[in-house]
Structure 1
């Protein structure tokens, strides 16, 4: 009887039975009488043990000839091994080589520089560390989607190509769009979501966004993925409550389903759990500037915070902290004016602890037509491009709020990564377009 093909993550119910595993050899060691083949199949890792006495000489010799990353089909008996990552090992009875490389695998056990690894990103993704990070990224995205759907949010896809500027002209990728003039790669789907919120109440989009800022920091990419909810009749406080609930939910989901991955990444799991154990902190922009001055920063009042400022702030808190109500002049044109101070807007940045900084930016949107039009003019934006956007205020204007969470920044914090480029499969920076 042919042994059934199963994935490594499905081993538990097959203890003591013969199965077939299909995957790649990511490491091996041998003695005269035994081969230890470390095999991965995308769902997990397992050690396949081939004893010389249990197979033919031809098969034992074939296993000896395997190069790293050879693709194989291995038949064997599932045996419990509590020391193994999967909790099991495979006693090999048969092996078929699907493809054996003719070249030595470029990524070896020795230390490699980051540029080398990024040049070989298509192969680097195969490593166990990268598998842990990508599995957590997948969980973060799934958790966000499930959470928003549980709260009654509808997915509404926003365009990648747009004629309207969302976050300011300095960070735009611009291109010629047939005979219609200039188009831009989307910085955000928010403006379109505001229109969708007027139709469906609670909506969100999820997709790639683009920023042409020539930034070299460990927190910036030129292409990143963002999840953006928008809710009708949500005001500033409602908006922050939703952010806190979503972030707490996704961190708890990662802790529940990926604790072993976090441990492999050497993440302080207890610190991560403490971060969502209790309400998040809240300080105003004014309070944040005063705190920074006490900590030794010389940031002028009225400036936006840089990475160093955010790092300094977040090191003072064990849990995420909301910084609220920034000066109008450093924020986007669409944010609602503070009811008590014309120089401020009703917005928030949610900063992750341990020095990770901003993971969410959100605001209540300006629903007053005259104030919004005045803001568009003050930012020297072309009114004709925003005629459709102003219609949202002309026909049944309503209070509404939303936010955007950068998936990579959230993943970098949750995984404890030093640089955001590991939090996305194919990082795009000002110096990197390949692979």
Structure 2
């Protein structure tokens, strides 16, 4: 009976055949231990010479790393294994012999591993990170579908930019200028006016020349937008969504978290509601902590965000940033025009901002005024202003960066491990 490693729990005591690759092996004169993987999981195959005979035992002993095989054996429960099962091998057929596999069990430098990312993905660690990424995506669809959102796909090629064009990739769209999207938000606002509550999930691009562990050139964003939702409503959706994906990862990726050595106790506490810190109070707090370089009106950098986050065991909202440092579309606080109704959600443990969101301007005259202040072409945004001309309503939305969230939940240090093929400032290969 053919099966996969993640299904062997249903075949204890039965003989099964699994198509797999050899990750590693060790052997003595009478027994060989094969570390096998098939994409769905990892299992140890035990080959006993007296059970299989000389030919199969020698075949097992001579297997090279990453050779592909069909392994037939009896599924046994094994309390010593983190997976809980092992395979008592009865037969072994080599599909393809791998020669001189470059990523050996020894230590390799980061650049070497990045050059071989197409193969590095096969490792236990990278497999675990990708499974956690997949679970976050699965849970995202479950959360929004369950809560009445409609998935809408905004364009990747755009003629304008929600936050200016300084960090966008420019291209020619026949005889027009175009840009790779840095956010689908503006289009999602249009979709929300048609469908009420919507979300998108897709790639975004930022030509920011940054080399920090938190930045990628190409990354994936989940961007919900909601008609008739005001600022506080927006924060509630964010904290409920983040709580849901964290608990889903804890429930469905326990083995992967263990393999990564992740301290799950710090994730167990991630449940709504989350604390809120006004930007004014954040600046005061930072001054008290010795960050004398920052003044009111400055944007917060990574060290500032980390210092604030360290005071909490949950993600924390920093709200009401100065109007002058935020994009044109954010709704001013009705009681203070110098700040806007926005919030960044900062993850614990130094992982930084994972969500940026705000209530959007819904007054036509104010939006035109803000476009003028930001020196943006009103013709390019004509369709966007028309959303305020025909049945405008209060509305809000946010964007969650998938890779930073994956890095946080996985406990990996750098976002380059949280996406299958990272695009970094100096990396377009493989």
Common fold by TM > 0.5: yes
Match of 1:267 in 2: 262
Partner of 1:288: 282
1:116 aligns with 2:136: no
Cα distance, 1:83 vs structure 2 = 1.1
Select between 335-344 and 240-249 the one with higher mean Cα deviation. 335-344
Aligned mates of 2:222, 2:311 — CA distance in 1: 27
Ranges in structure 1 where 5+ consecutive residues have no aligned partner? none
Q: Displacement of 1:65 after TM fit?
A: 2.0
Aligned-CA RMSD value:
1.0
The whole-number CA distance in structure 2 between the counterparts of 1:309 and 1:45 is 41
Deviations 1:137-156 (CA, angstroms, capped at 9, x unpaired): 11111111110111100000
Deviating beyond 3 angstroms after TM superposition, the runs of 4 or more aligned structure 1 residues are: none
Aligned match of 1:40: 37
Structure 1 residue 358, shift from structure 2 partner: 0.6
1:328 and 1:243 map into 2 onto residues whose CA distance is 22
Structure 1 distance, partners of 2:275, 2:83, is 39
1:64-143 equivalent positions in 2, closer than 5 A: 64-101=61-98, 103-143=99-139
Name the counterpart of 1:391: 386
Match of 2:349? 354
Secondary structure at the aligned position of 1:169 is classed as coil
Aligned equivalents of 1:316, 1:45: Cα separation in 2: 39
Task: Report the 3-state secondary structure (helix = DSSP H, G, I; strand = E; otherwise coil) of the residue aligned with 1:139.
Answer: helix
The structure 2 residue matched to 1:216, chosen from 208, 211, 218, is: 211
Whether the 8 Å contact between 1:9 and 1:86 is mirrored in structure 2 is no
1:369 deviates by 0.6
Matched, 1:421 2:416: yes
8 Å contact kept, 2:83–2:255: no
Give SS of 1:385's match.
coil
Contact 1:314–1:356 (CA<8 Å) still a contact in 2? no
- Spell out, residue by residue over 1:15-59, the C-alpha distance to the aligned partner (whole angstroms, 9 max, x if none): 111100111000111111121111000111111111112223222
- How far apart are the structure 2 equivalents of 1:244 and 1:359? 12
Partner of 2:251: 256
For 2:54 and 2:411, the matched residues in 1 are separated by 47
| TM-score, structure 2 normalization | 0.98
- C-alpha displacement of 1:257: 1.1
Query: Which residue in 2 is equivalent to 1:197?
Result: 192
DSSP-derived class of the 2:338 partner: coil
Are residue 17 (structure 1) and residue 28 (structure 2) matched? no
Q: CA deviation at 1:355?
A: 1.8
Deviation, 1:168, is 2.1
Rounded Cα–Cα distance in structure 1 between residues aligned with 2:8 and 2:26? 23
Corresponding residue for residue 406 of structure 2:
411
After TM superposition, the score normalised by the length of structure 1 is 0.97
In structure 2, the gaps of 5 or more residues are none
Cα shift at 1:109: 1.7
Partner SS for 2:198: strand
Provide, for residues 370-395 of structure 1, a one-character-per-residue CA deviation record: whole Å limited to 9, x for no partner: 11111111111111110111110111
Measured after TM superposition, the shift of residue 63 of structure 1 is 1.9
Could you tell me which residue of structure 2 aligns to residue 380 of structure 1? 375
Corresponding residue of 1:232: 227
Find 2:56's aligned residue among 56, 59, 68. 59
User: In structure 1, what is the Cα distance between the partners aligned to 2:369 and 2:20?
Assistant: 61
Matched-pair contact (CA < 8 Å) for 2:154–2:184: yes
